[in-house]
Structure 1
């Protein structure tokens, strides 16, 4: 939808803010630009609506060179939200939200319907708030109005320049959640600038990490965390941040593969011996193809050691398993429902690949959450 080809930005004093950018933003994508101050992220975003004209290369929107577009019409067709909202203090909220539709010549009835719809969409009852002025609102409410104004003319693209940066953490989280819901509902293409990596990981379909005017990596949050392509990217993310986001950690990275197992035809005595050798109180029962059949506990073996001839007679079904495609977050959720504290990990054929235990989860995350290991 939006394509950057060999795009650079050089100011009259010779400073090169952006260097040879090549990337594409897909229709309906939520793209986050992030990096330290002065990295070129805001300049990159502003070049899309020509608030900052690029000095080399080309930027196209739906295949059309934006340099050939009327800059005023281009900006009216692209939603724009900034950190301090930019609301006109002498305009009511209805007038602020309806500004672009008014400039585009919408009739009064259509404009009012759209304004009321959007105020309601961002959680501000239009019957109460439409006639109010910005000074009568909290910072979070003003930011909601800023988002509504950006959506007013139903643009395909919305640019957001650190829109929640000045808000308190609770309000910021609420607005992040609301924006994600709006994006899911409206499918707008959003380019979002932030300096906060936690915000980027939460919001972005993809994240572009920038430094000194160059784009070092553009990837999904999962790939960015697991496979940083540059030392600066790893440093900027923070080496321990992945452990603060267990949804991005494959369960295969936290599971034990050296699992204590037993075949179903083994005798209880042999199973107890195996248990003692492996220093465990539970064995997983698998067939000759490693297909998971169930489990047996030390208590069941000892209680039935003289009453049964094979382990299969006292197998307990496994109530909770995880697929190999699961995440550590899935394991953390499943752990509370796992008898004996063991969660088998199986492939699509139910073959046992490993186990996750409450102990391994605690030890894996506690060491990082407690501040051990490498510094961020």
Structure 2
């Protein structure tokens, strides 16, 4: 959908705002541009609709060089949302939302139908809001109108320049959720500029981190968090941010890989001996093929040792199991209710890959929050 090829922007005074930018994004993706003030993120975005002309390189939109397009027609086919919202105060809400369809020559009936559709899409009842003026709306409502206007002519790409930056935290979070809901429904290609890393992690399919006009790293949120390209990226995102976002941590990073296993036909005395040797008070029970069946504890075996012949008679079926593709957040959600405080982790073939325990979770998180020297003490 969008490709930058050796794109630079240099001003007449010699200042180079963007330097040899190379990236591409596919249709339906949200790309978030982020970095310190003055890094070139807004300039990069504005070059897409030619509000800022690039001085070298090529920007392709759907395979076409944007400099070959009429700039007015180009902009009418690109949605644009800014922090200041930019609604015309003397236009009603329906006139603001219908501006681009009107410029594109839509007839009145089609335009009105589209305006009503867009207002409903962003949670504003047309019967209530269409005839109002911007000053009669709250900041959050005005920003919803700004999003509706950007989408009104059904553009394939939408540019969003810190659209929620001036809103209070609660309204901001609500509109972030609303944008994700809209994206699930509309599948637009979105280039989103922000200075807020939490917002970038929440919204971005891909995140581009910029510094001094250069692209330092372009990756998915989980790759940015788990494999920062250099010290600057690690410092910028915050060294502990990965563990503030457990949905990005693979469960395999917080599990133990050597769980104690046994077979259902094992005699209780032998099972207890094995537990003492392994210094554990639980055993995972598997069949001959290595598939997980259940779990037994030393307490249960000891209390029933005179009554049972094999441990499968008192085995507890497992209610909390995770696939090895799960995340640490999934483990955190299950651990409280997991029998014996253990969550087995299995492969797609239901073979044991490891176990998550309260201890393994605490150890994994603590190791990131405390310095290595302190941990050694």
Partner residue, 2:116: 116
Partner residue, 1:274: 274
Q: CA deviation at 1:332?
A: 1.6
Partner residue, 1:317: 317
Q: CA deviation at 1:290?
A: 4.0
The 2-side partners of 1:365 and 1:168 are apart by 31
The 2-side partners of 1:293 and 1:72 are apart by 66
1:118-141 CA-to-partner distances (Å, cap 9, x unmatched) read: 111111111111111111111111
The 1-side partners of 2:271 and 2:198 are apart by 48
Q: CA deviation at 1:59?
A: 0.7
Q: Which runs of 5 or more residues in structure 2 are unaligned?
A: 373-377
Partner residue, 2:251: 251
CA RMSD in angstroms comes to 1.7
Partner residue, 2:193: 193
1:66-123 CA-to-partner distances (Å, cap 9, x unmatched) read: 1111111111111100001011111111111111112122211111111111111111
Out of 190-199 and 319-328, give the one that drifted further: 319-328
The 2-side partners of 1:206 and 1:51 are apart by 24
Q: CA deviation at 1:363?
A: 4.6
TM-score by length of 1: 0.94
Please give the residue correspondences for 1:120-135 in structure 2 after superposition, counting only pairs within 5 Å. Answer: 120-135=120-135
Partner residue, 2:360: 360
Please give the residue correspondences for 1:101-112 in structure 2 after superposition, counting only pairs within 5 Å. Answer: 101-112=101-112
1:140-165 CA-to-partner distances (Å, cap 9, x unmatched) read: 11100110111111111110000000
The 1-side partners of 2:168 and 2:139 are apart by 9
Partner residue, 1:40: 40
Out of 161-170 and 68-77, give the one that drifted further: 68-77
Partner residue, 2:301: 301
Please give the residue correspondences for 1:20-35 in structure 2 after superposition, counting only pairs within 5 Å. Answer: 20-35=20-35
Partner residue, 1:55: 55
Q: CA deviation at 1:228?
A: 1.3
Out of 334-343 and 116-125, give the one that drifted further: 334-343
The 2-side partners of 1:151 and 1:74 are apart by 15
SS at match of 1:23: strand
Please give the residue correspondences for 1:166-177 in structure 2 after superposition, counting only pairs within 5 Å. Answer: 166-177=166-177
Q: CA deviation at 1:41?
A: 0.6
1:196-249 CA-to-partner distances (Å, cap 9, x unmatched) read: 111011101111111111111111111111111222111111111111111111
The 1-side partners of 2:166 and 2:86 are apart by 13
Partner residue, 1:100: 100
The 1-side partners of 2:335 and 2:194 are apart by 35
1:321-342 CA-to-partner distances (Å, cap 9, x unmatched) read: 1111111111122224321111
Q: CA deviation at 1:362?
A: 4.0
2:87 maps to 1:87: yes
| Corresponding pairs, count | 372
The 2-side partners of 1:158 and 1:240 are apart by 32
